[in-house]
Structure 1
Amino acid sequence: MSITQLGQDQRREALLRRSPKRRTARSVRAARRRDAGLLVQAASGDEAAFMAFFDSTVDAIYRLVRCRHEQEAADRVTCDTYVAAFLRAGEQADSGLSPLAWLATLVPAAHGPYPTGGACAA
């Protein structure tokens, strides 16, 4: 099954079962190299590599999106971001950005301007 064919409930379940991990500088560098390699593989159609990239990065992206959106919208925006990432995975290497930074640039592209009212709203 393709990432673009996952049902909304399946995507939401995948997002919600993730838990934050504490990382050291060494593990962050290793994760960047691993994630970049996974995106190269995903660009050639390797869905398993993309799902490993998703597993590695979804916590950070969801927290970013959740600061701007209510939960239901955050789930949708996060899913849309990963669909865009899957379709554009080959562009990361030429971007000059780390895989996570590149992915963060896709958040607005996936869902337009941010509304207010997310979990981090004052």
Structure 2
Amino acid sequence: YLINSIHKEMKRHTSHGTIFRNSFRKGAAFGVRAQVILIMKNREKIDDIDVPTGTALVLKNYYANEMSLNSTFLDDHGIKLNKGSKTNISDFNGYTVGKDFGNNISLNTQINGKVKINKRLT
């Protein structure tokens, strides 16, 4: 859904060149990433507050344990993870247009499981 939405919007900017479109894609990815990080932070706040049943605490411990097991597995197999190099933005206008688009993509359907129907006049 996300990739198709980004490509569909990018096709509207056909008058721009490849550099613009690549920067648009990078900006859109950054905008979506920012939304996901915000959603995760909000969920962590909710998990920290709503612990009457202990489920959130159990899940938090489970995730910490899984991360530890993953790290141990990678160390045992000699695999080292590192961050990739920074992305260079060639067309700042394309990047900002893409970032604005990425910030406005609705993630409710994917994350909350709710279906949002947009009716449009055609």
Normalising by structure 1, what TM-score? 0.27
- Structure with the bigger percentage of helix: 1
- Higher relative CO (Cα under 8 Å, sequence separation at least 6) belongs to 2
Instruction: Kindly name which structure, 1 or 2, has the bigger radius of gyration based on alpha carbons.
Output: 2
Normalising by structure 2, what TM-score? 0.27
